Amino acid sequence: MEDRIIQTEYSEVMEKSYIDYAMSVIISRALPDIRDGLKPVQRRTLYDMQELGIKYDKPYRKCARIVGDTMGKYHPHGDSSIYDALVVMAQDFKKGLPLVDGHGNFGSIEGDGAAAMRYTEARLRKITQTAFLEDLDKDVVDFMPNFDETEKEPVVLPVKIPNLLINGAEGIAVGMATSIPTHNLSEVIDATKAFMRDNTLTTRELMKYVKGPDFPTGGIVCNQDELLDIYETGTGKLRLRGTVVREKGKAGKTNVVITEIPYTMIGANISKFLFDVAALAEKKQTNDIVDITNQSSKEGIRIVIELRKDADVDNFINLLYKKTKLEDTFGVNMLAVADGRPETLGIRGILQHFVKFQFEVTTRKYKTLLAKETERREVQEGLIKACNVIDLIIEILRGSKDRAMAKKCLVEGDTTGIKFKYKESRIMAEQLMFTERQANAILEMRLYKLIGLEIEALIKEHDETMANIYRYEDILSSRDSMTQVIINELDDIKKEYGRKRRTLIENTEQAVYVEKKAEEMDVYFLMDRFGYARTIDVATFERNNEAALAENKYVFMCKNTGKVCVFTNKGLLHTIKVSDIPFGKFRDKGVPIDNISNYDTTTEEIVCVASQSQLNLYRIVFVTKDAMLKIVDGGEFDVSKRSVAATKLQDGDTLVSVEVLKEQRNIVLRSNDGYFLRFPLEEIPEKKKAAIGVRGMKLGAKDMITDVYYTQNAVEQTIEYKDKMLELNKIKLGKRDGKGVKVRA
């Protein structure tokens, strides 16, 4: 037992196990093969459909059947991954060349998911059979055992077109990811043909054929000058834009219509685009939008934005490019499995691997065809020769006791035991030297083959076989001939399945949006005790003055171009642009303050809200729970950042009060134990916002400041304390850092 115990470092075992796992994910699941451009799940699904006979000219079959059969035979990784792969291969808005013909709900470009596999049906497309699966019976690729060694599956499909470029690929492995854009079938085939004729072509020369990516959603690639570097290295970023047209609307208005979207907007990003456009209007970033409707249908994308009469259309379109997904980037990383390992390649490297694979497949194909034609020639020559001595063969068959005796005579000329009618026949029979395959064909030949026309057909068939043999031998012996064969197949595919380019390639400058300066005016900021904030115009406030003050915790005037400052108990200052706060009617609910700022409702409490322009005119008093006080010039809080530290706090201390100083003369501190201390504000020193401050009141061991009040000279001010009214001006005036007086109920 001790001999079988292996002692090793745990870290080494973990490292090896993780590397094995990572490579398994990379090679067996996440990345496509550079030869056929397919991931294992895609390859297995297509092969299983071929094995089930679900061809383009046959009836559709339930996707559940396809998924179940694929999972049971070849891909034991769960049904969802197989069905997802099947759905994507059927979606013409994701694939430049769909490989599966789906019947039923296979999702939509707007992000709707496909129906459950028990409802949908599918079959192979003609291109898939023609260019992906056609030659599997000709020993063109290797087969390997499936996961339980009960079936055989192809290592790679004999794909005749550079599918990796045409359909692209997306996948996330362990520590690496692939992202290859789709390309135009006709352009890629032209580039492949050119590379086969001259394998010294550079990337720049290949790009005379492949202009750039061609997405099924159309759109525009805006950085044409950067494509050379992307195709040279296999990595980079594409700048994509949707296609926008202008249409005349009602009453002289202009409609901006999006007819094509960037490839990255497929799915949920269309709804996000609509939401973002609506948000531009809500946040007052533009006042040009009258209405937005999504009129997309099976005929294509059509998103209509109705603009005001006097709108600057060019500037508005630039706003869409800057603030929404109508302009987006597509990260290119042309990573695929080449020679058993992941490798990032440019377009030249991809075509190099593909062309090499094509020559390997074509060589194996024509070797198989040549072997079959050679066998056929052998049989045909035997039958022709047999027809010339048919009387002798009939005599041999009639004189033989069994098949073996007759066959031995035909192959070896052994006449032992055979009865002949004439002596000359024996002599002639002894000279027969048919091959074993020929002898079997003769013995299995039917009598109708002796008809004159059948013999002529046999001779004609033999001539065709000889022509095929000469042709196959020429293809196998001459690279030029084999190149021409591959090119002819590519031409046939291009002729039948080629289409015009959908994506426009050009150089476009970055969109420049000139933000219209809002007309500056006074507005009133209202925020209720629940933290909902809004702004209203001055006239509306004046009509609802009493209700506004009664229903809201914070009410003050500010400029619509200014900022609002929110101080919290954590000593933080959060700034909010007034333009980001909803402007509307008095009874509008508003928006939660935490939705438009960095204020965190889970960890912070609001202590004070004020206009930044107001703070610039005055000084501010800070009071903490531990009775630390200071006065700070309000100008220090005129900051551009959304969140900054408003004051420095000691460990465990929190901010209790922030007050803007105007006509106040005295400050009153109230502690939790019932002590009140009133003293002049002049005793509080002015400091910087980064200072802690000075002590304002001596507190007991567990006492703390709970409330802060301010009084004016000769102005009576009362508060309710323990169910009684307390006049603050009657509290004895003391000194800062005193203990204060205890007020009893």
**Tell me, what DSSP letter sits at residue 30?**
I
Instruction: Determine phi and psi for 331, rounding to 5 degrees.
Output: -75, 125
Burial class (CB in 10 A: 0-12, 13-18, 19+), 131: buried
119 is an active site residue: yes
Tell me the CA distances in angstroms from 686 to 573, 630, 679, one per residue in order.
19, 6, 16
Measured distance CA(39)–CA(32) in Å, rounded: 4
Alpha-carbon distances of 43 from 39, 116, 132, 166, 339, rounded to whole Å:
6, 22, 10, 16, 17
In three-state form (DSSP H/G/I as H, E/B as E, the rest C), the secondary structure along 679-729 is: EEHHHCCECCCCCCCEECECCCCCCCEEEEEEECCCCCCEEEECCEEEEHH
* Tally of CB atoms within 10 A around 449: 15
Write out the DSSP string of 612-646.
Answer: HHHHTTSEEEEEETT-EEEEEEGGGG--SSSEEE-
Tokens of 407: 């066959």
Distance separating alpha carbons of residues 355 and 361, to the nearest angstrom: 10
- Alpha-carbon distance 220 to 240, whole Å? 6
Residue of 119, 209, 448, 721 with catalytic role: 119
Amino acid at 309: K
Q: What are phi and psi of 125, to 5 degrees?
A: -85, 160
| CA–CA dist 206, 191 (Å, integer) | 6
At residue 687, what are phi and psi to the nearest 5 degrees? Answer: -135, 175
Backbone φ and ψ of 30, nearest 5°? -90, -30
Rounded distance between C-alpha atoms, residue 676 and residue 708, angstroms: 10
Q: Are 154 and 134 in contact (CB under 8 A)?
A: no
Measured distance CA(554)–CA(564) in Å, rounded: 11
Helices H, strands E: what count in the chain? Answer: 21, 35
Cβ contacts of residue 466 below 8 Å, gap of 6+?
Answer: 377
Alpha-carbon Rg for the chain, nearest whole angstrom, is 42
Q: Are strands 335-338 and 341-344 parallel, antiparallel or unpaired?
A: antiparallel
Instruction: Report the catalytic residues.
Output: 119
